Amino acid sequence: MSGFTVGLATFYNGKWHIDPSTETAIMSEQNAIVRGHELVSIGGFPLYTQYIDGIKMHTMIEFDGRLELAFMA
């Protein structure tokens, strides 16, 4: 089963870092997006993590109302 978390993120030392004190519990994609919008409303950058069967799999961002893999060039 797949689920997502979201938390406030910063980018430094060439990597994304999610503040663990702001990361949510695993939830559905749509619920994670709603929580991400709440973080944006206070000036934060939300970064999402996909979990499959409880295993951390992908770092993601919201694009056009859905979550997509996050890449940094």
pLDDT by residue for the chain (73 residues), tens digit each?
A: 889 999 999 888 988 899 999 999 999 999 999 999 999 999 999 999 999 999 999 999 999 999 999 875 4
Q: How far is Cα 4 from Cα 23, in angstroms, rounded to an integer?
A: 10
Residue pointed to by tokens 């295993």: 55
11, 72 contact by CB (below 8 A): yes
CA distances from 33 to 12, 13, 14, 68 (A): 24, 26, 25, 12
36: DSSP letter: H
72 three-state secondary structure: coil
pTM score, whole prediction: 0.89
pLDDT at 70: 84
